[in-house]
C-alpha cells in the first residue's frame, strides 16, 4: 500500500482558519508541472515486482492558506493550455490520471466559473453562519438581566438565563401532593370510623324493647323513650353530698320523656308526668313511675306503649351519676331564668337572668320542684334544658374542638344506657333532632284525683286524642299542646 503524501500530511497540521471565500478559489496560483517531464512511450510498463511509483503530489500540496480578504496583486490562473500536454501522458495507463488544475475541473466551462468546484479540505472549515451562532462565554458578573446566559446555550422556549419548566416534574409534584392529601383524608376517615365503633362498643346496654303479646305495630315516624332516674349507685358518699342527691337506695324515674320524630316536620319533645295514674301490666293501676320500680326498663316501655298505642323504637336512660359530667364536658349551658331559684334540698341558689350553669347547678335545676305547680313546672324546665344541652353539644364550638368533643363523648357514653339494638349514631340522630326548635309539650291529663298512691293525675279524653295524632303521624292541634311556661325563659 502506498505511503501517504508528505505534503498532504503537512496540510493537516496547519490550523484551520477562516473559510476561504468563493471568489478567492480561482485566484490561487496553480503550479505548472516541470517542463522536463515527458510522457513515457506507450509500450513502457513498470517492471514486475518493482514497487509502484506513487502518484505525483496534488497541485495544492504544501500550499499555505492565506487569510481571507482582498489581495492587492492577484495571480492570474494558469490557462488551460498550460496543462494540456498532461492529458495525453500515459494514456494507455489505466491507473494513471494526471492531476487537473482547478480551472480544468469538470463542470468549469470558463475561468469565470469560480464556484463550480473546490478541493476537499480536511478538517473541513466551519461555515461562517455556524461560527456566528456559537455561544460566547459569559463575562464574570454577567446575569440574565444583562443578556448573559451564565453558562451553556439557552433552552428553547425559556427566557434569557431561565430554564424552561419541565411539565413532567410539575405533574409529578401535583400527583405527589394529591396522593398525600388523599392519604391524609383516608387516615382521617378511617380514624373517625374507628373511634365511632370504639365508643359504640363502650355504651351501656339493656334489653328494654322486648317482645310481648299485644305490642303495637310500627307507627309512622320514630319514637324515643328517654328516662331520667334518681339512681345513686355510681355515686360515692362525697359525690352524693356535693350533688345533694340524698341517700335513698333503689332507682326511680324522676323524668319520663317521649321524643317523637314525625315523617315530616319538627320533632316533638313530650313530657309524661310521673304522677299520671295508669294501668301497669301485671301490677294493677299505679302512678306511671312505679312501673320502672316494679319491672325496670322493660315494664316501663310496655306501660308507655299501652298508654300511647305507639311503638317505642329506641330507649335511653341517664342517672344522677352522669348528667352533671355531660354538662361540664361541653363547658356548661347558658340558661336565662325569669326568676331566682333557691332550693336547699336540690342544692340550688341561682339569681334571675342569663348565666352559664355547670353540672351541679344544672342537676339541681332539673330536679327542683319548688314551684306552685310542682312537677308540671319541673318537667317544663327539664324539656327546655335538654333542648339547650343538645344545641350546645351539636354546636361548632364542641364538634370542631377535640378538647370539648372527646370529653363530651366519653361522659355521654359513661352516663347513658341504651337498648341492645341502639348505637352511637342513633344517639347522634337524637341530639341533632333536638338541637333546633322542637315542639315541647306535656301530655294532657284529665286533672288531679286522689288514688291509693296519693295525689295523682287522671287519664282523660284529651290524653287519648293527643296520642291518636301521634299514632297516625299527624300534626297535633294547638289546643292539645301545653301552655305551661316554666322558670326558664324561652
User: Residue 50 contacts by C-beta under 8 Å, 6 or more apart in sequence?
Assistant: none
- Grid cell locating 236: 360515692
Report residue 441 as a C-alpha cell.
309539650
Share the mean pLDDT of the chain. 74
Q: Is 20 exposed, middle or buried (0-12, 13-18, 19+ CB in 10 A)?
A: middle
* pLDDT exceeds 70 at position 400: yes
* Residue the block writes with cell 320523656: 257
* pLDDT over 80 at 318, yes or no: yes
Q: Give me the phi and psi of 260, to 5 degrees please.
A: -110, 120
Do 283 and 294 touch, CB atoms closer than 8 A? Answer: yes
- pLDDT attached to residue 238: 57
Q: What is the pLDDT of residue 435?
A: 79
Residue 432 confidence (pLDDT) above 90: no
* Higher pLDDT, residue 289 or 234: 289
**Residue 329: pLDDT above 60?**
yes
pLDDT over threshold 60, residue 173: yes
- Grid coordinates standing for 31? 503550479
By the 8 A CB rule, do 153 and 136 touch? no
Whether the Cβ atoms of residue 360 and residue 350 lie closer than 8 Å to each other? no
The residues facing 356 across adjacent strands are: 334
d(C-alpha 65, C-alpha 452), whole Å: 139
Name the β-bridge partners of 224.
259, 314
Beta-strand pair 448-451/454-457: antiparallel
Provide the pLDDT for residue 56. 58
Task: Give the chain's length.
Answer: 490
Give the span between the Cα atoms of 288 and 298, in whole angstroms: 13
Average pLDDT rounded to a whole number, residues 232-238: 53
Higher pLDDT, 96 or 192: 192
What the block records as the C-alpha cell of 298 is 322493660
SS (H, E, C) the chain: CCCCCHHHHHHHHCCCCCCCCHHHCCCCCCCCCCCCCCCCCCCCCCCCCCCCCCCCCCCCCCCCCCCCCCCCCCCCCCCHHHHHHHCCCCCCCCCCCCCCCHHHCCCCCCCCCCCCCCCCCCCCCCCHHHHHCCCCCCCCCCCHHHCCCCCCCCCCCCCCCCCCCCHHHHHHHHHHHHHHHHHHHHHHHHHHHHHHHHHHHHCEEECCCCCCCCCCCCCCCEEEEEEEECCCCCCCHHHHHHHCCCCCCCCCEEEEEEEEECCCCCCEEEECCCCEEEEECCCEEEECCHHHHHHHHHHHHHHHHHHHCCCCCEEEEECHHHHHHHHHHCCCEEEEECCCEEEHHHCEEECCEEEEECHHHHHHHHHCCCCCCCHHHHHHHHHHHHHHHHHHHCCHHHHCCHHHHHHHHHHHHHHEEEECCCCHHHHHHHHHHHCCCCEEEECCCCCEEEECCEEEECCCHHHHHHHHHHHHCCCCCHHHCCCCCCCECC
Is pLDDT above 60 for 423? yes
Q: How far apart are CA 438 and CA 426, in angstroms?
A: 18
pLDDT at residue 10 tops 60: no
pLDDT bucket at 183, cuts 50 / 70 / 90: confident
Identify which has the larger pLDDT, 444 or 91.
444
CA distances (Å), origin 482, targets 269, 291, 476: 11, 25, 11
Per-residue pLDDT at 53: 59
Q: What is the largest CA-CA distance in the chain?
A: 165
Q: Can you tell me the distance from the alpha carbon of 28 to that of 257, in angstroms, rounded to the nearest whole number?
A: 121
Nearby residues of 5 by Cβ (< 8 Å), 6 or more positions away: 54, 57, 58, 61
pLDDT band at 148 (very low <50, low <70, confident <90, very high): very low
Rounded Cα distance between 245 and 255, Å, is 15
Asked if the model's pLDDT at residue 184 lies above 60, the reply is yes
* Inter-CA distances, 453 with 229, 446, 448, 457, Å: 19, 17, 12, 11
302 vs 348, higher pLDDT: 302
Q: Which of 164-168, 259-263, 333-337, 476-480 has the lowest mean pLDDT?
A: 164-168
The residue assigned the cell 485566484 is 27
Mean pLDDT of 34-41: 50
Residue 418 has pLDDT above 90, yes or no: yes
Q: Rounded CA gap, 176 and 159, in Å? A: 28
Our measurement of the distance from residue 265's CA atom to the centroid of its chain's CA atoms, rounded to an integer in Å, reads: 35
- Min mean pLDDT across 137-151, 175-189, 197-211, 451-465 is at 137-151
For strands 348-350 and 314-318, give the pairing.
Answer: unpaired
Q: Residue 325's pLDDT is what?
A: 87
State the average pLDDT over residues 417-444: 89
Closest CA to 269 of 473, 483, 433: 433
Amino acid at each position: 500500500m502506498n505511503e501517504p503524501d508528505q505534503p498532504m500530511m503537512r496540510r493537516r497540521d496547519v490550523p484551520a482558519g477562516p473559510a476561504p471565500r468563493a471568489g478567492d478559489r480561482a485566484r490561487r496560483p496553480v503550479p505548472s508541472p516541470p517542463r522536463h517531464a515527458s510522457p513515457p512511450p506507450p509500450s513502457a510498463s513498470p517492471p514486475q515486482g518493482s514497487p509502484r511509483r506513487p502518484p505525483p503530489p496534488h497541485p495544492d500540496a504544501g500550499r499555505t492558506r492565506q487569510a481571507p480578504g482582498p489581495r492587492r496583486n492577484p495571480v492570474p490562473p494558469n490557462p488551460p493550455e498550460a496543462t494540456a500536454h498532461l492529458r495525453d501522458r500515459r494514456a494507455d495507463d489505466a491507473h494513471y490520471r494526471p492531476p487537473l488544475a482547478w480551472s480544468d475541473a469538470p463542470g468549469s466551462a470558463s475561468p469565470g466559473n469560480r464556484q463550480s468546484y473546490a478541493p476537499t479540505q480536511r478538517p473541513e472549515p466551519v461555515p461562517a453562519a455556524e461560527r456566528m451562532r456559537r455561544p460566547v462565554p459569559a463575562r464574570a458578573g454577567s446575569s440574565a438581566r444583562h443578556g448573559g446566559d451564565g453558562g451553556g446555550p439557552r433552552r428553547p422556549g425559556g427566557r434569557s438565563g431561565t430554564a424552561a419548566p419541565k411539565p413532567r416534574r410539575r405533574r409529578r409534584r401535583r400527583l405527589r401532593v394529591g396522593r398525600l392529601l388523599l392519604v391524609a383524608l383516608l387516615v382521617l376517615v378511617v380514624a373517625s370510623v374507628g373511634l365511632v365503633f370504639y365508643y359504640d362498643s363502650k355504651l351501656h346496654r339493656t334489653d328494654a324493647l322486648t317482645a310481648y303479646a299485644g305490642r303495637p305495630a310500627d307507627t309512622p315516624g320514630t319514637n324515643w323513650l328517654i328516662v331520667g332516674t334518681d339512681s345513686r349507685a355510681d355515686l360515692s358518699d362525697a359525690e352524693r353530698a356535693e350533688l345533694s342527691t340524698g341517700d335513698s337506695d333503689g332507682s326511680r324515674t324522676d323524668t319520663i320523656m317521649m321524643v317523637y320524630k314525625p315523617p315530616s316536620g319538627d320533632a316533638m319533645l313530650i313530657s309524661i308526668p310521673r304522677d299520671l295514674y295508669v294501668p301497669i301490666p301485671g301490677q294493677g293501676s299505679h302512678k306511671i313511675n312505679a312501673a320502672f320500680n316494679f319491672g325496670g326498663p322493660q315494664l316501663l316501655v310496655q306501660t308507655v306503649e299501652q298508654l300511647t298505642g305507639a311503638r317505642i323504637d329506641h330507649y335511653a336512660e341517664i342517672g344522677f351519676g352522669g348528667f352533671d359530667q355531660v354538662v361540664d364536658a361541653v363547658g356548661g349551658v347558658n340558661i336565662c331564668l325569669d326568676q331566682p331559684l333557691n332550693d336547699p334540698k336540690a342544692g340550688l341558689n341561682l339569681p334571675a337572668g342569663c348565666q352559664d350553669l355547670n353540672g351541679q347547678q344544672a342537676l339541681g335545676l332539673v330536679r327542683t320542684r319548688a314551684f306552685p305547680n310542682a312537677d308540671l313546672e319541673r318537667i317544663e324546665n327539664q324539656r327546655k334544658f335538654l333542648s339547650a344541652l343538645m344545641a350546645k353539644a351539636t354546636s361548632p364550638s364542641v364538634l370542631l374542638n377535640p378538647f370539648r368533643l372527646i370529653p363530651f363523648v366519653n361522659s355521654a357514653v359513661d352516663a347513658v344506657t341504651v337498648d341492645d339494638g341502639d348505637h352511637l349514631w342513633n344517639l347522634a340522630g337524637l341530639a341533632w333532632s333536638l338541637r333546633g326548635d322542637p315542639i315541647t309539650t306535656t301530655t294532657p291529663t284529665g286533672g288531679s284525683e286522689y288514688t291509693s298512691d296519693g295525689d295523682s293525675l287522671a287519664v282523660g279524653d284529651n290524653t287519648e286524642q293527643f296520642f291518636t295524632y301521634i299514632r297516625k303521624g299527624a300534626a297535633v292541634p294547638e289546643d292539645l299542646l301545653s301552655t305551661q311556661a316554666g322558670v326558664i325563659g324561652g
